[in-house]
Structure 1
Amino acid sequence: MGNSESNDVSTGHRRIRKAISLHNLAKPKSKDVLKGKVEPIRQTDSYLDGINGSLFAPRVPTAFTPEFQFRSDISSCDFQLKSKLGEGTFSTVYKALWLNNKNAIVAIKIQNKDIILEKNAEKQIKRESAIHKLLSESIYIPKFFECWQTATHLFSVMQCVDGIGDLYTLWQHTGCFSEDAIRIYAAEIGLALDYLQNRHVVYRDLKLENVALDSRRHIKLIDFGFSRCLEPGERAMTICGTLQYMAPEVATSTDYGFEVDWWCYGVVLYVLSESEYPFPNGDVNVHTDLTYSSEVSFTRATSELASLIAKLLHLDPNLRLSCLSELMRQPLFPPTFSFESVQKYDIDPVKSEDSS
């Protein structure tokens, strides 16, 4: 029933009315990127030389293996850093050129081992890397290419989601989404959650800021720092995630499963439609202060969309909509709507939003 994880609660969403960031583990600051505040790299060569200087002198040879290996076939010298995408407690993420791979544009995450060990976070970092690798075949997850370690740092090379930022940023610029656009994002996120669930991964931090968007505004789920695998019949107990998206069973220290991700999904859809949170938790800072209600009110959503959100926000996880097959039967998706086309990226959210 229990597990060895430590409780880790975040209010790290950019609030609809007030921004507070507590969880910033290796999370790109997409808002700054979108606003043209990308920080240019200075003294790149000396920075990388310092990291590579101790390549073959490992001080902690086993703490991060087997996920991160000491390797001689790849190093940071194979990459030309172009700009800083963001930084967190343990890491900095850069946009880079992969020189030995036709100058492909990638994202490279560099993590300081001393800081990770100081905070006893090595298990979390290793788990995040392992889960990202496990999920890398989905079109809804940035590809995970390579990882390795030196004596002082960890390196991860991933697909660079070189789009317009994240769903929060798009919501800020757009305001309330049209139902056509919400329908497509609902389908894409639902397909992504189904993919995670089929691989026994509970995400635990689905929110607008963790839904990155590519150049055509299709989704990519990012930041698996709170994710973990659940074997059949296994339940989690850790209180973690972002408060305003936290399912009631998590907040009340009840054992839980994949249903918590579908609750977060309901909160995402509610915010896109109503421009506020479904419950008065916008200024809450601890999980014990979260409040919920069996009644969810709507002012903008159509009856079809409201019906779906209400089923996703059911207080009882046993009665909550929490599988793709049930999602596909909802009135929001008419018989002419093709989930298969959505999965092939044949339906473009840009056109749906621009035509509304």
Structure 2
Amino acid sequence: MGTTLSGLDQLWRQQKHQCPHLGSLEPALLPPEKPLTEWPLPKLISLFLPEFPIRPPQGQQQLKVLGFVAKGSFGTVLKVLDCGLGALLAVKVVPKVEVLQQDSLRQCKEEVSIQRQIRHPFVSGLGGSWQGQRHLFTMYNYYSTGDLHSLWTTIGCFSEVTIRLFAAELALGVGYLHDLGIVHRDLKMENILLDERGHLKLTDFGLSRHLPQGGRAYTICGTLQYMAFSRVVSGTRSNHFMNASWSIDWLIQSQLLAAPEVLSGGPYNHVVDWWSLGILLFALAAGEFPLQAEKDHVAMLSSVTHCDYAVPASLSQGLSLLLQELLCHNPFHRLRYLYHFQVHPFFRGMAFDPELLQKQPVSFVLEARAALPAPVEAVQFHDFDCDLMSLSTYPYPA
């Protein structure tokens, strides 16, 4: 119950009635769902408890849809306005039938469970989660500056000053997750958002899991691999720097960032996130990934195993050393703890304190954003129409 983004086809009809020629695209108010008063609760409701609670009618918020952030085969993310708070939010809408068909109920619930634990300046937390009759809803802060991948594809190589700052912020965020017993498993540029001051926010815990210190996992396969593939190949995303569609590049980057022990089927642990960070920092510094993507995991494993990762000669000795220590094939020898970063030559003189790191805005990011035209919100309602038509099989708000 509560505020839902259901009945989207009715929402579009309401919008079209108000604006028959789409001349003025005022945001449409989201209709509430019918109260779920049956007892015992239907299985399609009880399956998703307690991670996705049923909201009471009196507690519902007034949300207005402003446009799309992303849409794909495993849910749609909408930009919404909380009328009560006057705050911009992002709400992900996932059909329950998709979760059950892809056998991802456990992972879906774990994603919410993980994000409820998180309180960190460089990691995006959860604003709330609930369920309707047919959809799951998760709410997050909305960041208008875009994501790191969009900035990278626009700018190219980053300066070492910027890389040092971003590496420190990510090291603090990843170290925090590991201390909580969480392995992210999908650390890549498009999963790193930029806030209004240009600082980083690690997000998207769809492939994350709880893994106690000393524990071992064995593979990202089956449902998890399918989720990553389907979101990448079938999805499209409106970003704030390029306004480009997603493509197979997203899957390629997922492959490129996978550690050797993941590609080989495990066992692996939290150290895989540090490998991914190394690939990410290499790309920021060199303007390209250290190796080419292959057609499958077996070929990719062979490429990773036999690649020497030639670090560009233009990089400083400290950064070159950091990349070599992160991109170590043997996970037992890989740089893996936050204190390794704190005493590393590349970070000499840098205080690993979130408040100090965030004290100044990242002018490089803000200047890049200011140099590009602002996205036109009105255009996004045309896409909204297409998406709603695809949901016309659900005649009632759910």
1:191, 1:343 within 8 Å by CA — same for their partners in 2?
no
| 294 and 65 in structure 1: CA distance in 2 versus 1, 3 angstrom threshold | same
Q: What is the distance in 1 between the residues matched to 2:365 and 2:204? A: 27
**Match among 270, 284, 298 for residue 258 of structure 1:** 270
Q: What is the distance in 1 between the residues matched to 2:319 and 2:90? A: 36
Q: What is the distance in 1 between the residues matched to 2:58 and 2:97? A: 22
Superposed, which structure 2 residues align to 1:195-214 within 5 Å? 195-214=176-195
Structure 2 counterpart of 1:7: none
Structure 1 counterpart of 2:69: 85
* Mean Cα deviation higher: 343-352 or 294-303: 343-352
* Mean Cα deviation higher: 53-62 or 258-267: 53-62
**Match among 91, 104, 125 for residue 108 of structure 1:** 91
Offset from partner CA, 1:314-346 (integer Å, 9 cap, x none): 0000000011101111111122x2222666511
Q: What is the distance in 2 between the residues matched to 1:96 and 1:153? A: 17
Structure 2 counterpart of 1:223: 204
What secondary structure, in the 3-state scheme, does the structure 2 residue paired with 1:92 have? Answer: strand
1:56, 1:150 within 8 Å by CA — same for their partners in 2?
no
Structure 2 counterpart of 1:17: none
1:105, 1:160 within 8 Å by CA — same for their partners in 2?
yes
Q: CA deviation at 1:44?
A: 6.4
Q: What is the distance in 1 between the residues matched to 2:165 and 2:14? A: 41
Percent of pairs identical after alignment?
Answer: 31
Matched, 1:169 2:142: no
2:283, 2:290 within 8 Å by CA — same for their partners in 1?
yes
Structure 2 counterpart of 1:117: 100
1:118 counterpart letter in structure 2: Q
* Mean Cα deviation higher: 306-315 or 114-123: 114-123
Q: CA deviation at 1:73?
A: 4.5
1:246, 1:264 within 8 Å by CA — same for their partners in 2?
yes
What secondary structure, in the 3-state scheme, does the structure 2 residue paired with 1:288 have? Answer: helix
2:361 counterpart letter in structure 1: D
Structure 2 counterpart of 1:348: 361
1:271, 1:278 within 8 Å by CA — same for their partners in 2?
yes
Matched, 1:145 2:127: yes
What secondary structure, in the 3-state scheme, does the structure 1 residue paired with 2:308 have? Answer: coil
1:109, 1:157 within 8 Å by CA — same for their partners in 2?
yes
Matched, 1:273 2:285: yes
Structure 2 counterpart of 1:246: 258
What secondary structure, in the 3-state scheme, does the structure 2 residue paired with 1:108 have? Answer: strand
Offset from partner CA, 1:166-222 (integer Å, 9 cap, x none): 111111121111111111011111111111111110000001111111122210111
Superposed, which structure 2 residues align to 1:1-356 within 5 Å? 42-43=12-13, 48-49=30-31, 52-53=33-34, 55-56=36-37, 59=42, 60-73=44-57, 78-100=62-84, 102-135=85-118, 137-163=119-145, 165-239=146-220, 242-279=254-291, 281-282=292-293, 284-290=294-300, 291-292=303-304, 293=306, 295-299=308-312, 300-335=314-349, 337-340=350-353, 344-351=357-364
RMSD of aligned Cα (Å): 2.5
| 54 and 118 in structure 1: CA distance in 2 versus 1, 3 angstrom threshold | farther
| 44 and 321 in structure 1: CA distance in 2 versus 1, 3 angstrom threshold | farther
TM-score normalised according to structure 1 size: 0.80
What secondary structure, in the 3-state scheme, does the structure 1 residue paired with 2:363 have? Answer: helix
* Mean Cα deviation higher: 143-152 or 253-262: 143-152
Offset from partner CA, 1:117-154 (integer Å, 9 cap, x none): 1222211111111111111x111122312211111111
1:187, 1:342 within 8 Å by CA — same for their partners in 2?
no
What secondary structure, in the 3-state scheme, does the structure 2 residue paired with 1:85 have? Answer: strand
* Mean Cα deviation higher: 103-112 or 66-75: 66-75
Which structure has the greater CA radius of gyration? 2
1:259 counterpart letter in structure 2: V
Q: What is the distance in 2 between the residues matched to 1:171 and 1:188? A: 17
Aligned length: 308
- Whichever structure has more helix as a proportion of its residues is 2
Offset from partner CA, 1:204-246 (integer Å, 9 cap, x none): 0001111111122210111101100112321111235721100
1:142, 1:160 within 8 Å by CA — same for their partners in 2?
no
1:181, 1:353 within 8 Å by CA — same for their partners in 2?
no
| 93 and 268 in structure 1: CA distance in 2 versus 1, 3 angstrom threshold | same
What secondary structure, in the 3-state scheme, does the structure 2 residue paired with 1:220 have? Answer: strand
| 183 and 147 in structure 1: CA distance in 2 versus 1, 3 angstrom threshold | same
Q: What is the distance in 2 between the residues matched to 1:71 and 1:353? A: 38
Q: What is the distance in 2 between the residues matched to 1:348 and 1:186? A: 16
Q: CA deviation at 1:93?
A: 1.0
Structure 1 counterpart of 2:233: none
Q: What is the distance in 2 between the residues matched to 1:82 and 1:330? A: 45
| 184 and 264 in structure 1: CA distance in 2 versus 1, 3 angstrom threshold | same
1:111 counterpart letter in structure 2: V
Q: What is the distance in 1 between the residues matched to 2:218 and 2:157? A: 35
Q: What is the distance in 2 between the residues matched to 1:353 and 1:73? A: 41
| 78 and 47 in structure 1: CA distance in 2 versus 1, 3 angstrom threshold | closer
Q: CA deviation at 1:251?
A: 0.6
TM-score normalised according to structure 2 size: 0.72
